[in-house]
Structure 1
Amino acid sequence: MSVIDHSKIRELEHRNFRNDDFWKEIPGWSSVTRGEFADHKWQMKNSIRKVEQVEKILGPKLAKEHYQDILAGQKITPMNIRITPYIFALIDWSDPLNDPLRKQFLPMGSQFIKDHPYYKSDSLSEDEDSPVPMLTHRYPDKALFLPTTICPVYCSYCTRSRIIGGSTESIEKETYGANQKKWDDVFAYLQTKPMIEDIVISGGDAYMLTPKQILYIGQNLLKIPHIRRIRLATKGIAIFPQKILTDDDWFGAVKEIHKLGKAFGKQVVIHTHFSSPREITKWSQMAMDRIFQSGIIVRNQAVLQSGVNNHVDEMVLLTRQVGFMNVQPYYVYLHDMVPGCEHFRTTLREGVELEKAVRGTTAGFNTPTFVCDLPGGGGKRHVASYEYYDEENGISVWKAPHVKPGEFFTYFDPIHKLSPDAQERWKDAATQKAMIDEALKKVK
Structure 2
Amino acid sequence: MLEALTPPRQFTLSGDFWRQIPGYSEVSEQDFSDPAWQERNSIMRPEKIRDLLQGNVAEQFIRDLSEGLSDSTMSMRITPYILSLIDWSAAKKDPIRRQFLPLKSEMIAAHPLLRLDSLNEHGDQISEGVVHRYPDRALFLATDKCPVYCRFCTRSYSVGVDTPTVTKDRNAPVADRWKSAIDAIRKSAAIVDVVVSGGDCFRLKASHLLELGSELINLGKLKRIRFASKGLSVLPMKIMNDRAWTDALIRLSDMGRAKGVEISFHTHINHPREVTHYVVDAARLLFTNGVMVRNQSVLLRGVNDGFSEMTRLVKLLSDNHIHPYYTYVCDLVSGIEDMRTSIDSARHLEKHVRGITAGYNTPLFVVDAPGGGGKRDVHSYEVYDKETGLSVYAAPGVRPGKLFVYPDPLHSLSPGIVADWASDDRAREMVRMVVERAKMQGRISGG
Compute the TM-score of the two structures, normalised by the length of structure 1: 0.95
Residue matched to 2:208: 213
* Pairs aligned (count): 432
CA contact (8 A) 2:10 2:280 kept: no
1:185-224 map, 5 Å: 185-224=180-219
Alpha-carbon distance between aligned partners in 1 of 2:343 and 2:428, rounded to the nearest angstrom: 20
CA contact (8 A) 1:241 1:283 kept: yes
Deviations 1:389-429 (A, max 9, x none): 11111011110001001111101001121012222222221
Q: In structure 2, which of residues 97, 105, 113 is the aligned counterpart of residue 110 of structure 1?
A: 105
Q: In structure 2, which of residues 255, 261, 264 is the aligned counterpart of residue 266 of structure 1?
A: 261
Residue matched to 2:225: 230
Asked whether 1:331 is paired with 2:347, we answer no
Q: In structure 2, which of residues 389, 398, 401 is the aligned counterpart of residue 394 of structure 1?
A: 389
Residue matched to 1:293: 288
1:55-134 map, 5 Å: 55-134=50-129
2:339 aligned counterpart, secondary structure = coil
Alpha-carbon distance between aligned partners in 1 of 2:198 and 2:233, rounded to the nearest angstrom: 16
Asked whether 1:181 is paired with 2:176, we answer yes
Give 1:178 shift.
Answer: 5.4
CA contact (8 A) 1:195 1:226 kept: no
Alpha-carbon distance between aligned partners in 2 of 1:320 and 1:292, rounded to the nearest angstrom: 17
Give 1:49 shift.
Answer: 1.2
Instruction: Point out the more displaced range, 385-394 or 184-193.
Output: 184-193
Residue identity matched to 2:237: Q
CA contact (8 A) 1:129 1:137 kept: yes
1:130-149 map, 5 Å: 130-149=125-144
Alpha-carbon distance between aligned partners in 1 of 2:170 and 2:411, rounded to the nearest angstrom: 32
Alpha-carbon distance between aligned partners in 2 of 1:18 and 1:345, rounded to the nearest angstrom: 27
Give 1:149 shift.
Answer: 0.4
Aligned CA RMSD, in angstroms, stands at 1.3
Q: In structure 2, which of residues 247, 251, 257 is the aligned counterpart of residue 256 of structure 1?
A: 251
2:89 aligned counterpart, secondary structure = coil
Alpha-carbon distance between aligned partners in 2 of 1:66 and 1:380, rounded to the nearest angstrom: 37
CA contact (8 A) 1:14 1:317 kept: no
Deviations 1:216-241 (A, max 9, x none): 11111011121111100000001111
CA contact (8 A) 1:148 1:177 kept: no
Asked whether 1:365 is paired with 2:371, we answer no
Give 1:340 shift.
Answer: 1.6
Alpha-carbon distance between aligned partners in 2 of 1:192 and 1:64, rounded to the nearest angstrom: 56
1:298 aligned counterpart, secondary structure = strand
Residue matched to 1:9: none
Deviations 1:109-148 (A, max 9, x none): 1111111101011110011000110110011100000011
Residue identity matched to 1:109: K
Residue identity matched to 2:437: K
Alpha-carbon distance between aligned partners in 2 of 1:177 and 1:275, rounded to the nearest angstrom: 32
Identity %: 41
Residue matched to 1:3: none
Residue identity matched to 1:118: L
Structure 2 gaps, min length 5: 1-7, 440-447
Q: In structure 1, which of residues 21, 25, 35 is the aligned counterpart of residue 30 of structure 2?
A: 35
1:269-288 map, 5 Å: 269-288=264-283
CA contact (8 A) 2:9 2:280 kept: no
Q: 1:266 to 1:115 in 2, by over 3 A?
A: same
1:314 aligned counterpart, secondary structure = helix
Give 1:177 shift.
Answer: 7.7
Residue identity matched to 2:324: P
Residue matched to 1:22: 17
Alpha-carbon distance between aligned partners in 1 of 2:404 and 2:229, rounded to the nearest angstrom: 29
Residue identity matched to 2:167: E
Give 1:54 shift.
Answer: 1.1
2:158 aligned counterpart, secondary structure = coil
1:55 aligned counterpart, secondary structure = helix
1:201 aligned counterpart, secondary structure = strand
1:408 aligned counterpart, secondary structure = strand
Residue identity matched to 2:248: A
2:194 aligned counterpart, secondary structure = strand
Give 1:101 shift.
Answer: 0.7
Alpha-carbon distance between aligned partners in 2 of 1:119 and 1:169, rounded to the nearest angstrom: 18
Give 1:60 shift.
Answer: 0.8
Give 1:16 shift.
Answer: 4.2
Alpha-carbon distance between aligned partners in 2 of 1:134 and 1:440, rounded to the nearest angstrom: 32
Give 1:176 shift.
Answer: 4.2
2:427 aligned counterpart, secondary structure = helix
Compute the TM-score of the two structures, normalised by the length of structure 2: 0.95
Instruction: Point out the more displaced range, 299-308 or 218-227.
Output: 218-227
CA contact (8 A) 2:196 2:226 kept: yes
Asked whether 1:429 is paired with 2:424, we answer yes
Moved over 2 A (4+): 13-17, 174-178
Alpha-carbon distance between aligned partners in 2 of 1:441 and 1:159, rounded to the nearest angstrom: 28
Residue matched to 2:155: 160
2:115 aligned counterpart, secondary structure = coil
2:123 aligned counterpart, secondary structure = coil
Q: In structure 2, which of residues 384, 391, 398 is the aligned counterpart of residue 403 of structure 1?
A: 398
Residue matched to 2:377: 382
